[in-house]
Amino acid sequence: MPLMLHRRELLQVGYSGLLGASVSSLAFAQPSATREKRRSPHSVVLIFLTGAASHLEMFDPKPDAPAEIRGEFRAIATRTAGLLACEHLPQLAQRSHLYTVVRSLSHRENNHLVATHHVLTGHMQPGAFFDKIASRDDFPNYAGGLSYFRSPPPGTPCGVNLPTYLMEGPLLWPGQHGGFLGPKHDVLQITQNPNHRDFHVANMQLAAGLAVDQLTDRVHLLDAINSQQKWLAEAAETKKLTDQQRQAVAVLTSGKVAKAFAMDQEPAKTRDRYGRHPFGQSCLLARRLIEAGVPVVQANMGQVQNWDNHAQLFTRMKNDLLPPLDRAVAALLDDLHDRGLLETTLVVMLGEFGREPKINKDAGREHWAPCFCGLFAGAGVRGGQVIGRSDAHAAYPATTPYSPDDLGATIYTVLGIDPHADVHDRLGRPVQLNRGSVIRPLFDGVSE
């Protein structure tokens, strides 16, 4: 007698029971078009300072400005002529030969969600309005865009975000998934703290007592069931689940990426260098994932809006934000350099915008999109330079401004993707992936 199951039962069995694994966030990429074999450079680590770090308290201090602009921190010299840094970034100041700072980033979106989409996708959010949450109308993030053109090796996701979703209450920040390309172009989202002693990624774990050969047998059973349920296999939702299931199996059976999550295998001395806190261990995990072949890793520092300091900015940055950032990113740059990975990996560190130059009555700074800065290293970037400058109060670019669209064009080019290529949305309509221009001074050393 043919095996018949109700649709809901089959979804439940096929999605969890048959595979014995949770795969709801394992929506890895499958290409609709392929390109030539990847050439170096080919990887990106995006360090996202969610909530928007103050550029005046990082790499664009104004020591000669009035006190209400200058702030409380002292500016220190770096190894790069013309580049000052905040006194609470001493390790990064000593490593400025490894990176370049762009001080003339600029756009117009002062809203966190809209600006986050712009920075994490390289494109303005379609139909943007205040606090527009994530939707399938959004543009894909960089890993999603990459996955449209190029398939990773079996068992390797095109992107990993860690250690948490950018989400506050019902507001899910856009720019964290494949957008209009569909769920098969979503990244692997980590939601555990890599600093915990028992850290593991549940999606990468086999169910208790389930061996790999048993898993393969269950996949064959799933194929048999799906072949009898043609109407179900043709449904868009079921196709999504099938893609996720097969990708989960590929990751579980290959072991390459799964081993990267075994943080307890990393020497204690190395873990200490990064800092024994969630962000430090996220940066270390990013390095391990790059080594395992994951092309795009995004490490978010803290919960959403961690850097959104409308009050007590100087206390928060001095005690909670700048020291762990300084230690972890310095360790990451050293580690990538020493392992020969920096030449093939672009490291980008920035927030969704900057902070208003004038300090408010609560000793904080408000949102400020017209001018902010970003750090770039590796993948052919010429270290030891500073690109662009702001005006006397760090309010507006005094030289050529660069937009998040230009950031996106730069990232896609490093990944070997033509940023101006067309992709097709879920309805088959052609859409230009990006409309920016590569930030050429990063690579040719010529800037204003």
DSSP conformation class of 342: T
To 10 degrees, what angle do helices 404-414 and 112-121 make?
30
Kindly state the tokens that stand for 347.
């490291």
pLDDT tens for the chain, 448 residues: list them.
333 333 333 233 332 333 333 333 332 233 333 334 444 789 999 999 999 999 999 999 999 999 999 999 999 999 999 999 999 999 999 999 999 999 999 999 999 999 999 999 999 999 999 999 999 999 999 999 999 999 888 888 989 999 988 988 888 899 999 999 998 899 998 888 999 988 987 655 555 555 556 656 666 666 666 565 554 444 454 455 556 566 656 666 667 888 999 999 999 999 999 999 999 999 999 999 999 999 999 999 977 668 999 999 999 999 999 999 999 999 999 999 999 999 999 999 999 999 999 999 999 999 999 999 999 999 999 999 999 999 999 999 999 999 999 999 999 999 999 999 999 988 899 999 999 999 999 998 765 5
DSSP conformation class of 288: H
Examine the domain organization and report whether 175 and 316 are in the same domain. Answer: yes
Examine the domain organization and report whether 4 and 65 are in the same domain. Answer: no
292 domain residue, yes or no: yes
Q: What's the structural domain count of the chain? A: 2
Element (H, E) at 71: none
Q: How far, in Å, CA of 152 to CA of 160, rounded? A: 13
Q: Is the pTM of this model over 0.75?
A: yes
The amino acid sitting at 271 is R
Is the four-CA dihedral 165, 170, 175, 177 of positive or negative sign?
Answer: positive
Tell me the CATH number at 116. 3.40.720.10
Examine the domain organization and report whether 271 and 127 are in the same domain. Answer: yes
Examine the domain organization and report whether 250 and 388 are in the same domain. Answer: no
Last residue of a domain, one of 221, 236, 255: 255
Q: Which residues make beta-bridge pairs with 4? A: none
36 domain residue, yes or no: no
Name residue, tokens 């949770």.
22
DSSP conformation letters of 203-257:
GGPPPTT--HHHHHHHHHHHHHHHHH-HHHHTSHHHHHHHHHHHHHHHHHHH-HH
State the Cα angle at 61 between 57 and 67, rounded to 5°. 90
